[in-house]
Amino acid sequence: MKQEDYLQSLLSEPSTAVREMESYAKEQRVPIMEPLGIEFLMQLLRIHQPKNILEIGTAIGYSALRMLEACPGSNITTVERDENRYNDALQNIKAMNVEDSIHVIHGDALDVASQIEKNGPFDLLFIDAAKGKYEEFFHLYSPMISKEGLIISDNVLFKGFVADDSEANPRMAKIARKIRKFNEWLVHNPDYHTTIVPIGDGVAITKRKQ
């Protein structure tokens, strides 16, 4: 934890609007990326420079807005099934005046693929939604990713329970087992290279083999 605290102390202070979103998410118990995780994601985007991004799991629009901050010229399609979070995301995106860059689709990502595909192909896929459905999301949306594209999956260490769920409650242990299964499937997938980075809540970086 000392190492994590040290790394967090090096992070730049976010804007007032970002701090307000972070406070709102904490108050409303809306899961958003941890500070080190979102900074890592933003740095990946600065390096990769994707022009067209697909996000599975908008929540309140936090990560979509931070990704746009890292890549101001990009277009982002993001999908959210919860109506309240969908409306919060629309409000936050409007407040930032970036409605032309971030397109939010309301619905279950497993049901709206045909609608999303119209906005593809995508240079980057970011998966941060229902943890037990990661493999389904991957199967459904990886064909929409460009040849040189990246696939980023968040929460793949899930509070440390993926490595050891002995102290997790039954619900958390069940989720951890599903993510563990996804991780093992992903890193052994013969069509992709995957690295899992132990930052934030665990980030998997996947690239199609050439």
Which residues participate in the annotated binding site? 33, 63, 80, 108-109, 128, 154-155
Which amino acid, 174?
A: K
Residue list for the binding site for S-adenosyl-L-methionine: 33, 63, 80, 108-109, 128
DSSP string, 168-195: S-HHHHHHHHHHHHHHHHHHT-TTEEEE
User: Whole-angstrom Cα distance, residue 146 to residue 192?
Assistant: 13
Cα Rg of the chain, angstroms: 16
Annotated binding site for Mg(2+): 128, 154-155
* Residues in CB range of 192: below 8 A, 6 or more apart: 151, 186, 206, 207, 208, 209
